[in-house]
Amino acid sequence: MSNVPADIRTKISTEAAESFAESYYLALRSSRATIASFYLPKSESPDGKIYPSLVLNGASLDDGMTVQKFFIEEMPFTHYEAQSIDCHVLNPNLKPLESGRKAEAERNMSLLVSVSGWVRLQELSKGPMRGFSETFVLVPNEEFPKGKAPKTDKKSWLIQTQNFRYVT
């Protein structure tokens, strides 16, 4: 089992969920050209399963770039407001670790994130409003700069699984 103390794990996982939700929904509103960077690159597992697995209102989308294209080309203005966020550590020992680095061990987990909120379409104040529910599985981005490496625009957590639904 993981040697990371429960309080550290809770702190890292819940804060990751919050900052992920904040930046992801902001990107859907105002920096749609960065949407693809929130997603795990497309890959196929040995038994033929393809990830990321993305379902928006019942439609399966191929990968992050498909989501990005969809938002840029077809979606009107959107403003998402996450009213409720919750997060569980799904797998606390995601990968065998190469180094014994503490920071790496602390992030070596997958997260289950659920969000409940509303989205305003077309216009911030008067556009139609829908309630939504969204569930993500996030995994650490292996390309995220480690230690003292210079910061990049790489996201620290990536979407492996996504399920979005309008609920009102």
Partner 1 sequence: MPVTTATRRHQGNRGGIAKRTRDMRTDRDGDMLMGTAPRGRPQAARGGRGALQPTRPPPAPGMSDSRRGGHNSSFKKEQLLSALRQGSIRAGGTERNGPAQSGNIKITGWTKSEAYASSDGGLGALISWLERRVNISIKKRNAPRKTAPPRTFKLAPNKYHVEGDALIISAMGSDVGDLLHLNNFEFSGVKIKVEEIPKESEQDSSAGNQTRQMLKDFLHRRYDPSAKLLNLSAIGQDQEILNTGMFATASTQSKFIPALMKVCDGIFKSAEEKKDTVQSITLANNALDSLVAVKEVAPTFPDLLNLDLSNNQFPSLDSLSGWKTKFKHLDQLIVSGNPLEQNNADYAADLAGWFPTLRVLNGIQIRTEEQIAKKQKAIIPIFGANFKDISGIGESFIKTFFPAFDSDRNGLVRHCYDPQSTFSLAVNPGAPRDPAQQGFKQLQTWDRYIKQSRNLKKITHLNPRMNRLLTGSDDITKFWQSLPLTRHPNLESETEKWLIECQSVPSIPDPSGNSPQGVDGLIITVHGEYEELDGPAGQARIKRSFDRSFILGPGGLNGIRVVSDMLTVRSYGGCAAFTPTDTNTGTNQPVTETTMEAPQQALPTLTNEQTQMLTELARQTGMNIQYSKECLEQSQWNFQAALETFAAVQPNLGPEAFAQ
Q: Contact residues for partner 1 (CB under 8 A)? A: 6-7, 10-11, 14, 17-18, 45, 47, 49, 51, 53, 55-60, 73-77, 82-96, 110, 112, 114, 116-118, 121-123, 127-131, 133, 135, 137, 139, 160-161, 163-168
Q: How far is the CB of 95 from partner 1 (least distance, A)?
A: 8
Nearer CB in complex with partner 1: 84/152: 84
Give the nearer residue to partner 1 in terms of CB position, either 37 or 116.
Answer: 116
- Amino acid symbol at 30: S
Closer residue to partner 1, CB minimum distance, 74 or 148: 74
Beta bridge partners of 89: 111
Among 125, 156, 167, smallest CA distance to 24 is for: 156
Task: Give min distance, CB of 37 to partner 1, in A.
Answer: 19
C-alpha torsion angle, residues 167, 139, 16, 74 (rounded to 10): -40
Query: CB 153 → partner 1: shortest distance, Å?
Result: 19
- Least separation in angstroms between residue 6's CB and partner 1 is 7
Q: Which two tokens stand for residue 167?
A: 């609920």
**What token pair was written down for 151?**
């910061």
> What is the smallest separation between the CB atom of 121 and partner 1, expressed in angstroms?
5
Give the three-class secondary structure for 15: helix
**Cα–Cα distance measured from residue 70 to residue 32, given in angstroms and rounded to the nearest whole number:** 10
Comparison of 7 and 153: residue with beta carbon closer to partner 1:
7
Q: Give whichever of 20 and 155 is closer to partner 1, judged by the CB atom.
A: 20
- Which of these, 113, 103, 34, lies nearest to 67 by C-alpha position? 34
Question: What whole-number distance in Å separates Cα of residue 11 and Cα of residue 15?
Answer: 6
